[in-house]
Structure 1
């Protein structure tokens, strides 16, 4: 199978995307893989598989590699004589801004490139945690109660301590703080506002049960991963999430009842259906008093959540064969021709 992995981007999660791409090089060995790196200046580079290692990017060696440009149907690399086409299905592996905010989805749609990843609408409702809350309300999925703060206004927090403060449009636990009392609040707010002008405030639930579930749509049905109960300390901070982030071996299935597993899958189905077709996503859930609450949607999960699938290669193949097709309007200038005809021109 031919697959182009698009990674990098101009976001706080740039390095995480690089780690994801390197891990998929191993996990999807045997595929005909191309790697396209989006630098922080939005230049695209074709990266040879042998150069897919962290030092290539940290040392800026990628800048010596061929530049490619988006064209209809794929990426094109200009050569001294002619050009080289990088066609086939693109896997959008850009985390955070660019990849998850709808920017790349819009570009790929504009150039009629088939891709695995969230479409524009799905990106909007999963990238900004405020909109994710609105989505939950509209489809009947429970989420933890919350308040919104904005850097341009003064507003008291009414949720009792301890609370958790999150930048609204950022993942990977970047800028997230647990605040146990008022004396810790200002520092936590300053930290979060470094990354986003909008913040989400939620109650911090001690010893909450957390479960992760990934899935995708293929052949008209959602294909689920196993349910994972992530190991964590107080909460899954950046280091815990991503220092062991390149893992590629399958994790153990959570020891939960079939009833709870069905509840998680039902909530996942409500979130996915009619919104995330074409993407492999991971949803992180809380369970409180046997009730399921959505914590967050990961529209492009780290390393594509490969460790949750028994056969990740088959999952990617099946998803690739079930991508949605967007219809383009046919332009025939019939309206203009009719006006000209009426005027006798």
Structure 2
């Protein structure tokens, strides 16, 4: 299968996207892969597969490689006398801003480029944790209680300590702090507000179990991954998640009752249906006091959660053959013609 991997972007998760792309290069050895890197200035570069190494980007060596432009249906490499088009299905692997906030999806839709990834409306509800809470309320999926704080408005929280403070629009546990007592709150807020104008505060749940489940839709049916119970301490910090994004070996299936598996799948389906068609997503759930709670939606999970699938290559092939088609609206100019005719022009 031919596949173009688009990665990089201008966000705090830029480097994580590079790690994910390198991981998939090693994972998808039977694919005909093209790599397109979006740098922090939003210039697209065609990266040789042999140059898909961290040093290529950390030392700026990618700037010596061909640049690409967008055209209807493809990325284009232009030279003085010719041009080459890259029109394979694109895998949006840009984590965080650009990739998950709807910027890239809007751009690819605008140029009618086929892609695997969340569409713009799905990006809106999954990128902002506040909107994710609103989505949960709308689709009858339970989530952790929360309060919202903004940089411009100072108010005290009513939740009891300990709590978790998170930037509203950031992933990979960047800017996240566990606050055990009120004296630590100012530091936690200062840290979170470095990354976002809005933060979300949730109670820190003692004895909570966490389970990760990924999936995608193919031929009208959602295909689920195995359920993983991540091994962690209090929470996965940035460093642990950074390493997590380079995983390529399948993880062990969680030893949980089938009844719980079905509950997780039911909640996943509520999140996915009608919103995430065309994407492979991962939902992270909490189980607390026998209640399933959605913790987070990962619309572009690290390394595409390949480690949760028994046959990840087939998953991408199935998904790429079931992508939603955005309807193109043709302009007939009938209205303008009728006006001109009425005026005798």
User: Into which bin does the TM-score normalised by the smaller protein fall?
Assistant: over 0.9
Q: Which residue of 1 aligns with 2:241?
A: 241
Contact 2:250–2:308, Cα closer than 8 Å, also in 1? yes
Spell out, residue by residue over 1:125-164, the C-alpha distance to the aligned partner (whole angstroms, 9 max, x if none): 0000000000000000000000000000111111000000
Q: Which residue of 2 aligns with 1:76?
A: 76
Matched, 1:42 2:37: no
Contact 2:244–2:302, Cα closer than 8 Å, also in 1? no
Q: Which residue of 2 aligns with 1:272?
A: 272
Partners of 1:247 and 1:202 in 2: CA distance: 28
5+ residue gaps in structure 1?
none
User: Secondary structure in 1 aligned to 2:156?
Assistant: coil
Measured on the aligned residues, the alpha-carbon RMSD in Å equals 0.7
Q: Which residue of 1 aligns with 2:289?
A: 289
Partners of 2:245 and 2:337 in 1: CA distance: 59
Contact 2:117–2:299, Cα closer than 8 Å, also in 1? yes
Matched, 1:331 2:305: no
Matched, 1:13 2:13: yes
Q: Which residue of 2 aligns with 1:100?
A: 100
- Could you tell me how far 1:232 is from its partner in structure 2? 0.4
- Residues 1-345 of structure 1 mapped to structure 2, 5 A cutoff: 1-345=1-345
Partners of 1:147 and 1:82 in 2: CA distance: 56
Partners of 2:16 and 2:326 in 1: CA distance: 30
Runs of 4+ in 1 over 3 A off after TM superposition: none
Partners of 1:244 and 1:290 in 2: CA distance: 27
The total of aligned residue pairs comes to 345
User: Secondary structure in 1 aligned to 2:254?
Assistant: coil
User: Secondary structure in 2 aligned to 1:243?
Assistant: helix
- Could you tell me how far 1:207 is from its partner in structure 2? 2.6
- Could you tell me how far 1:80 is from its partner in structure 2? 3.3
- Could you tell me how far 1:292 is from its partner in structure 2? 0.5
Spell out, residue by residue over 1:187-224, the C-alpha distance to the aligned partner (whole angstroms, 9 max, x if none): 11100000001000000012310000000000100000
Contact 2:213–2:227, Cα closer than 8 Å, also in 1? yes
Partners of 1:280 and 1:243 in 2: CA distance: 20
- Could you tell me how far 1:290 is from its partner in structure 2? 1.4
User: Secondary structure in 2 aligned to 1:85?
Assistant: strand
Partners of 1:169 and 1:185 in 2: CA distance: 19
Spell out, residue by residue over 1:272-306, the C-alpha distance to the aligned partner (whole angstroms, 9 max, x if none): 00000000000000001211100000000000000
